[in-house]
Amino acid sequence: MPRGAKVRSMSDPIFEHRFRVALHDTDAAGVLFFAHLLRHAHDAYEAWMAQLGFPLDAMLRDGGLRLPLVHAEADYRRPLRHGDAVTVRLGVAGVGGSAFTVAYRFLDAQGELAASARTVHVGVDANGHRTLPDALRRAVQPPQTRLA
């Protein structure tokens, strides 16, 4: 979690992303390959950032602000199998001076928690300085979700 970050609960997700487990997502045991969970987390993150008005493809083309992933972790609670419908609930777990933490909950078709993940993204400007522009800070943590 970013230094100086304010911590939020995931009880109030701010974005949902859905996917179906594809055959190429599974391992020899027929369950979601562990590393693919983070790929799906990143898909949810990209969709969320685009909805906020910060599409990652445009940010990369513009060459200004970058948001490298500096930490990722995941916990697995139950298997997800080929064909399973999954809902990813995304929320902001913390915002610091130059970074923010995104929390993800992966729910199966019955709404049961199958996995969770967290990623930390650091803002880096074109000169290599760590920064989180005010517009992005406001977008990832709107006023109604700020903690006192």
Q: What is the pLDDT of residue 13?
A: 64
Q: What is the mean pLDDT of each run of 10 residues along the chain (148 residues)?
A: 42 82 94 95 96 91 91 96 96 92 96 97 94 91 52
Active-site position among 12, 25, 27, 57? 27
Residue 147 within a domain: no
Q: What is the pLDDT of residue 146?
A: 43
The residue range of the domain holding 32 is 15-142
Q: What total number of domains does the chain contain?
A: 1
Q: What is the pLDDT of residue 12?
A: 57
Q: What is the pLDDT of residue 143?
A: 55
Residue 45 within a domain: yes
Known active-site residue 43: no
How far is the C-alpha of 122 from the C-alpha of 28, rounded, in Å? 35
Residue 112 within a domain: yes
Q: What is the CATH number of the domain that holds 21?
A: 3.10.129.10
Residue 74 within a domain: yes
